[in-house]
Amino acid sequence: MPKWTIEKPQKLTFDKVSVLSVRIVAGRLAVLASDGPPTLEVSDIGTPPLLVEHDETGRLTVAYKDLTWDGILGWLRPGRRDTTLTLTVPSDCTVQAGVISASAVVAGLEKRTNVKSVSGEIVLDGVSGEIEAETVSGTVESRGLAGDLSFTSVAGELTVAGGTPRRLRANTVSGRITADLELPPTGHVTLHSVSGTILVRLPRSVDTDVTLRSTSGRLHSAFSGLDNSSRPGAKSVSGRLGGGMASLSATTVSADVTLLRRDQ
Lowest mean pLDDT among 62-76, 150-164, 174-188: 62-76
Question: What pLDDT band is residue 79 in, cutting at 50, 70 and 90?
Answer: low
Q: What is the pLDDT of residues 63-77, one digit of tens each?
A: 998 888 888 888 767
Task: Find the mean pLDDT for residues 143-153.
Answer: 94
Question: What pLDDT band is residue 80 in, cutting at 50, 70 and 90?
Answer: low
Is 119:65 a contact under the CB 8 Å cutoff? no
At residue 68, the pLDDT reads 87
Residue 264 has pLDDT above 70, yes or no: no
Residue 36 has pLDDT above 70, yes or no: yes
Q: Alpha-carbon torsion 55, 58, 59, 65, what sign?
A: positive
How far are the Cα atoms of 85, 189, 243, 248 from residue 224, in angstroms, in the given order? Answer: 49, 20, 15, 16
What is the chain's percent helix, strand, coil content, to nearest 5?
Answer: 0, 60, 40
Task: Find the mean pLDDT for residues 137-143.
Answer: 96
Question: What pLDDT band is residue 156 in, cutting at 50, 70 and 90?
Answer: very high
Is 29:104 a contact under the CB 8 Å cutoff? yes
Task: Find the mean pLDDT for residues 225-229.
Answer: 90
Is 159:142 a contact under the CB 8 Å cutoff? yes
